[in-house]
Chains A and B, each alone.
Chain A
Amino acid sequence: MAVRLASLAVLLTSLALLDSSCGGDRNELILGATTSVQDTGLLDEFVRAFEGVTDYHIKPSVGGSGEVLAKARRGELDVIMTHSPADEDKFIADGEGLDERPVMMNFFLIAGPEADPAGVRGAASMSEAFKRIAGGQSLFISRGDQSGTHLRELSIWGEADITPQGQPWYQESSTGQGQNLVVASDKDAYTLVDSSTFTVFEKRAGLRALLTDTEKPNIYSVIRVASDKHQNVNATGAIAFAEFITSPAGQCVIADFGMEEYGKSLFEPAARCPSANVGG
């Protein structure tokens, strides 16, 4: 019995081992990506498209921009795609990353209840809107997780000269972009969200897009992790991914994404997709 169990265990484990294709180390590429890319479903598309034209196997590591950059600093990632400009600049200045290229963008917007008790709709700027939320003591849900969205939110509070932390109307959900929107919707609260995630959740969340920040787009960049600093980094794979995602083929994956389900691109490609379905 014990012997039979043991041999079965060995057999199944070796099966699992075989299956995970851990051979060919140089073929695995660890991509650090943020939750909005996963929550919209774009990440799976990137993986599918890139693996279709190369021999690399992408292993995505998903977290907020803060977590992704921290892992990259440890040399645990090969290439990253984040949207946190100030932290990215520091990352590159520290010699941890190189070759930053814009990939795509969307816009930040304030989502809130239809009734809009704080009057965000008429605000002239994002910081003005935040002032109104604070003035009206309206419930605000923050990501609270050092993600790109969280950092943008903090910088708007800074512009408004308000310290929301510790206020009874300010709560941190510490969840991914999509989940955070669901929490805000359940509580009929205001929150800051990117336009792509908002589009995906619009049907389910009862919140409205009240004010969109068109002045400062939310730019997602691809950055290669410095291989001279971290010897394990797959530099050729990282170059291949950065090339692909900024090439017409990669840009078209972005332009096409969402067309079928939402009738519009969820993210705007940084360059143009030559065959983009402009009429859609």
Chain B
Amino acid sequence: MDLIWDGVTEALRLIFSGDSYVYEVTFTSLLVSGSATLIALVLGLSIASFLAFRAPPGRTLALSAFNAGMALPPVAVGLLVSIMLWRTGPLGQLHLLYSRTAIVIAQAVIATPVVAALSTAALQGLNPNLRLQVLALGASRWQAALLLFREARISLLAAAMAGFGAAISEVGATIMVGGNIKGSTRTLTSAIVLEVGQGDFETAIALSFILLGVILVLVTLFTVLQQRRPPA
């Protein structure tokens, strides 16, 4: 138990002493997981709009796949992305393995099904007549989609938070495709794994609290945005 308390004080010390290593790995985490979440949002919302509004044949099958995708094992994603990015793999010529971009790809693969599945459910929960009404009133498809997104705002932001949570808390795939390189691909989560491997549990716990703090601050911002009354 002492270790946890020491970890909290160490976390505060690291934050306020301006320790550059901690700021660097935090920045890397936010950059890669933020990028991955945005990619997941673009892909996930597109998939959700297509599935919810167009109701293509085989929708239930596709939805089952995305729902199952929410439980996609990150270590399997990491392995598959690694093999794709290996020098001898199909995308080897891009030389992306052990780079931040590789982590963004892996985390986006993990977060996209989460956003897609939850957003589809959110859009399906709207009154189906609403879209027809809006279109009948002369809105373009884009305008209709934007209006429906705003209508389902609360659930869609929940989907975004879930996607971000899946990305920033991920570590197995992150280490596999990123390589845990100091100053480049070392994120908060992979730094924690390294500190544990080096037996420095105090720093590991301190970094864990910093990670939790970062998630708390960002999710609170999202939640404030979510709970705000829509402009009249």
A, B co-complexed: yes
Interface residues of A (CB under 8 A from B): 1-2, 5-6, 8-9, 12-13, 15-17, 19-22, 25, 28, 30, 35, 38-41, 44, 47, 58-62, 74-76, 176, 178-179, 181-182, 200-201, 204-205, 230, 232
Contact with A along B191-203 (1 / 0, CB 8 A): 0001011110100
Is the Cβ of A61 less than 8 Å from the Cβ of B98? Answer: yes
Is the Cβ of A30 less than 8 Å from the Cβ of B41? Answer: no
Question: Interface centre among A13, A179, A204, A232, by most B CB within 10 Å?
Answer: A13
Is the Cβ of B34 less than 8 Å from the Cβ of A176? Answer: no
Contacts of B96 in A (CB 8 A): 20, 22
List the B residue with the shortest CB-CB distance to A61.
B179
Contacts of B45 in A (CB 8 A): 2
Q: List 24 A-B contacts (CB under 8 A).
A: A2-B42, A6-B42, A9-B39, A9-B41, A12-B34, A12-B35, A16-B32, A16-B35, A16-B101, A20-B96, A20-B185, A21-B99, A30-B98, A35-B197, A38-B197, A38-B198, A47-B181, A58-B181, A59-B179, A62-B179, A62-B180, A75-B88, A76-B88, A200-B198
9 additional contacts (CB under 8 A) given A5-B42, A58-B181, A204-B199: A6-B42, A9-B38, A13-B38, A30-B98, A47-B182, A60-B179, A75-B88, A178-B197, A179-B197
Measured in the bound complex, the distance between the Cα atoms of B157 and A5 in whole Å is: 13
Contacts of B35 in A (CB 8 A): 9, 12-13, 15-16
Interface residues of B (CB under 8 A from A): 31-32, 34-35, 38-39, 41-42, 45, 86-88, 92, 94-101, 104, 142, 145-146, 149-150, 179-182, 184-185, 194, 196-199, 201
Measured in the bound complex, the distance between the Cα atoms of B142 and A76 in whole Å is: 45
Contact of B181 among A40, A60, A182, A204 (CB under 8 A): A60
The 8 lowest CB-CB distance pairs between A and B, nearest first, are A20-B99, A9-B38, A59-B98, A12-B35, A232-B87, A20-B100, A16-B100, A201-B199
Q: Known contacts A22-B94, A74-B88: does B39 contact A13 (CB below 8 Å)?
A: yes
Contacts of B146 in A (CB 8 A): 1-2
Is the Cβ of A22 less than 8 Å from the Cβ of B194? Answer: no
List the B residue with the shortest CB-CB distance to A12.
B35
Q: How far is the CB of A24 from chain B (nearest CB, A)?
A: 9
List the B residue with the shortest CB-CB distance to A19.
B100
Q: Known contacts A9-B42, A17-B101, A22-B101: does B95 contact A28 (CB below 8 Å)?
A: yes
Contacts of B99 in A (CB 8 A): 20-22
Measured in the bound complex, the distance between the Cα atoms of B94 and A167 in whole Å is: 48
Is the Cβ of B38 less than 8 Å from the Cβ of A8? Answer: yes
Contacts of B87 in A (CB 8 A): 75-76, 232
Question: Interface centre among B34, B104, B198, by most A CB within 10 Å?
Answer: B198
Measured in the bound complex, the distance between the Cα atoms of B181 and A30 in whole Å is: 11
Measured in the bound complex, the distance between the Cα atoms of B222 and A220 in whole Å is: 50
List the A residue with the shortest CB-CB distance to B41.
A5
Q: How far is the CB of B215 from chain A (nearest CB, A)?
A: 18
Contacts of A44 in B (CB 8 A): 182
List the A residue with the shortest CB-CB distance to B87.
A232
Q: Known contacts A9-B35, A13-B39, A59-B179: does B145 contact A2 (CB below 8 Å)?
A: yes
Contact of A178 among B42, B185, B199 (CB under 8 A): B199
List the B residue with the shortest CB-CB distance to A23.
B95
Q: How far is the CB of B202 from chain A (nearest CB, A)?
A: 10
Contacts of B194 in A (CB 8 A): 38
Measured in the bound complex, the distance between the Cα atoms of B197 and A205 in whole Å is: 13
Q: How far is the CB of A41 from chain B (nearest CB, A)?
A: 6
Q: How far is the CB of A233 from chain B (nearest CB, A)?
A: 8
Q: How far is the CB of A220 from chain B (nearest CB, A)?
A: 18
Measured in the bound complex, the distance between the Cα atoms of B201 and A170 in whole Å is: 27
Contacts of B179 in A (CB 8 A): 59-62
Measured in the bound complex, the distance between the Cα atoms of B88 and A161 in whole Å is: 42
Is the Cβ of B197 less than 8 Å from the Cβ of A15? Answer: no
Contacts of B145 in A (CB 8 A): 2
Contact of A16 among B31, B95, B98, B197 (CB under 8 A): B31
Q: Known contacts A1-B149, A6-B42: does B100 contact A59 (CB below 8 Å)?
A: no
Contact of B198 among A8, A19, A21, A41 (CB under 8 A): A41
Contacts of A47 in B (CB 8 A): 181-182
Q: How far is the CB of A55 from chain B (nearest CB, A)?
A: 16
